[in-house]
Amino acid sequence: MGELSAECEYRLLEMLPSISDYRRLRAAVGWSELSPEVVEKGLASSLYSLCVCRGEEIVGCGRVVGDGAVYFYIQDVIVLPAHQGRGLGARIMGRIMAYLDGHAHRNSFIALMAAKDAAGFYERYGFARRPPDRPGMFLIWEDRNP
């Protein structure tokens, strides 16, 4: 028997990653650590989620969060470093864009925050960088109690 092609080797399944898999994926790409309780609540609030599996291992994921009508945010497009460069991010985004095509409405706001040097990847899907006169902003919540 011949080798499986890279496309056949990976399966995309519409499902939430487990709490431990999600935390493992985040850690592998250098994202901040979140408690299991926070992850559980966040994942449960997803509008859409899919995982990339190789065998029984989850090697990537992507989610959509928001209110399901006016605002949609693409979150957590993650592929483990050992599996990057194989088109998995594009496959995740293709499925996310198909979800949005079926659920977003005319003039719905679709947003994301790209990882460093990833803006060009998202431009392929129609996303534009914020112009200087319309800057985006964010806040990472820290414990504000002394």
**Residue 146 pLDDT more than 80?**
no
Better pLDDT: 8 or 74? 74
Are the beta carbons of 40 and 55 closer than 8 angstroms? no
Token pair of 67 as six digits: 């209110």
Are the beta carbons of 25 and 17 closer than 8 angstroms? yes
Q: What is the DSSP string of 69-107?
A: SSEEEEEEEEE-GGGTTSSHHHHHHHHHHHHHHHH--TT
* Span 29-33, average pLDDT: 94
For the chain, what are the domain ranges? Answer: 6-123
Report the pLDDT value the prediction gives residue 1, as an integer from 0 to 100. Answer: 40
**Residue 101 pLDDT more than 90?**
yes
Provide the 8-state DSSP code for 36.
H
For the entire predicted model, the pTM comes to 0.89
* Span 63-79, average pLDDT: 97
Average pLDDT, the chain: 92
* Span 15-23, average pLDDT: 98
Are the beta carbons of 26 and 77 closer than 8 angstroms? no
Strand ranges, E, within the chain: 11-13, 48-54, 57-66, 71-79, 109-112
Domain 6-123 class, CATH top level: alpha beta
Q: For 102-142, write each residue's pLDDT tens digit.
A: 999 999 999 999 888 889 999 999 999 888 898 888 888 88
Which class for 125: exposed (0-12), middle (13-18), buried (19 or more C-beta within 10 A)? Answer: middle
